[in-house]
Amino acid sequence: MSNIVIVGTQWGDEGKGKIVDLLAEFADIVVRFQGGNNAGHTMVVDGEQFISHLVPSGILQGKMCLLGNGMVVDPEVLLKELDNLNNRGIDVGPDRLKISEKAHIIMPYHKHIDMARENMKGDQKIGTTGRGIGPCYEDKATRRGVRFVDLLDPKEFDEKIKTILEEKNFYLEHYFSAEKLDPAGIIDQYKGYADRLSPHIINISIVMNKAIKENKQILFEGAQGTHLDIDHGTYPFVTSSNTVSGNACCGAGIGPKEITGVVGIVKAYTTRVGSGPFPTELFDEIGDKIQKKGAEFGATTGRKRRCGWLDTVLLRNAARLNGLTGLVITKLDVLDGLEDLKICTGYEYNGKIIRDFPASLKILGSCKPIYEVLPGWPEDISKIRNMEDLPENARHYLNRIEELTETPIDIISVGPGREETILINNPFNLK
Ligand code: GDP
Ligand code: IMO
Ligand code: MG
């Protein structure tokens, strides 16, 4: 039996949603283990697009979907998502969708603080999604967070909110000159959420470990990407959770020996939303072309994504940090028609060559990419379903990625649709 973790290798939006939806066919359970509705995961099935921010991308395959304890969940957004799925005829009842009782809840003050901080920072802003993610994880770490288990005990919930709001209101009023929040209004609003969500709240670690004993297969769906990881990313221009594969265990409640494979999703070029260094960023017409052809707009905030060449310094870092057993290359079709393609193999810094991703943003910001130039292909590859049918130059590009990352490619994606895929090796089939 196999249990597979899927992670983004770059700065998010690599196409995780499409691949999780595709591989969910072979899983019994799909679980999100970190992040919140800062994520936007797109699935396209029979020409119909679904964007999921909180619900795991296994929901369209009819699988049991779990929201892990490592997540921060905005109940208002979750309920909207559930209503939307329900209206589209997809079962999201308590047997299908379960929320960890230990997952943290995004409260209105988290969103206010996130946005107020960003406004105050001006040019120095992180470019967060404004969804309250950072402030919610901050409260988790400082032990004044609110968890789903608290929703099940209304009396305790009321007291907790009143106590927390004393401090939050002081901060909002005196630091940001913002309006104070009314505890009664929040308590009332969240009681409504509790009424609807209570049947879904459960100990998901027990659910998963029982499933493992019954030889069922689990797919762990990472959000964001390795270089947005709070420890390993381009700090402070990162999100507030661990996005790497190691956190799948902690954020869902299983032991590491259960994980049998880790698949890294790689966009065939690089994109980034928000601020922070990006060595291979393009500021010319090729960057514009990729942005337009790839429809590179954020699925959560609608912001234009910054685009650049593929960076294998980034990918080698991701391969090591996640223990990748395989890669999925997405959006290869977006590169159709480009005369030459560049792959970054290292950085030049102060006359020296760097091959490992630096921790210092000052150094990273001054790094110049060293490129290898490969010939492109003029053909439209979106209809191709076999590796052998790809143009020779496309195969050469893929081989070079495998060589430079020392990781085999399992799947190639040539379009947003579930079927627009070339399957080389199914990660659920143990090698
Ligand atoms: P995620 O956050 O990693 O799930 O990725 P997003 O959904 O935010 O962004 C990926 C975008 O690329 C979505 O609009 C997908 O529908 C689209 N997409 C995924 N794979 C492919 C592909 O192989 N080719 C093309 N052209 N689009 C793709
Ligand atoms: P998916 O799962 C791309 C970025 C934000 C910002 C930084 C911090 O769709 O790949 P946050 O709101 O998390 O505090 O913002 O992280 N970011 C993402 N970028 N894809 C995502 O998710 C992201 N989630 C957060 O743009 O730069
Ligand atoms: Mg996304």
Domain ranges of the chain: 3-100+201-258, 104-197, 266-423
pLDDT the model gives residue 302: 86
Long-range (24+ apart) CB contacts under 8 A made by 82-91 are 82/55, 85/50, 85/55, 85/59, 88/50, 90/59, 90/60, 91/62
Q: Tell me the mean pLDDT in the region 49-66.
A: 97
Tell me: the pLDDT tens digits for 276-290?
Answer: 999 999 999 999 999
Task: Tell me: pLDDT of 303 over 90.
Answer: no
- Rounded Cα–Cα distance for residues 410 and 6 (Å): 12
pLDDT the model gives residue 298: 85
**Ligand 1 pocket member 44 (CB < 6 A):** yes
- Rounded Cα–Cα distance for residues 152 and 338 (Å): 56
The pairing of strands 340-349 and 352-354 is antiparallel
Chain-centre distance for alpha carbon 225: 6
Q: Which CATH superfamily is domain 3-100+201-258 in?
A: Adenylosuccinate Synthetase, subunit A, domain 1 (3.40.440.10)
**Among 37, 53, 128, which is best to mutate for testing ligand 2, by the most ligand atoms less than 8 A from CB?**
128
Going by CA atoms, what residue is nearest to atom 17 of ligand 1?
A: 416
- Which CATH number is associated with domain 266-423? 3.90.170.10
Going by CA atoms, what residue is nearest to atom 27 of ligand 2?
A: 274
pLDDT the model gives residue 431: 52
Eight-class DSSP state of 223: -
pTM (global) more than 0.95: yes
Picking from 379, 380, 385, 381, the residue whose alpha carbon sits closest to that of residue 419 is 385
**% of the chain with per-residue pLDDT over 90:** 97
Indicate the helix (H) or strand (E) that contains 291.
helix 285-293
Q: Tell me the mean pLDDT in the region 289-294.
A: 97
Q: Tell me the mean pLDDT in the region 12-31.
A: 98
Give yes or no for a cis peptide into 369 (omega within 30° of 0): no
**% of the chain with per-residue pLDDT over 70:** 100
Q: Coil, strand, or helix at residue 135? A: helix
Q: Is 340 a catalytic residue?
A: no
Chain-centre distance for alpha carbon 415: 19
Whose tokens are 């685009």? That residue is 307
How high does pLDDT run on average in the chain? 97
CATH architecture of 104-197: Orthogonal Bundle (1.10)
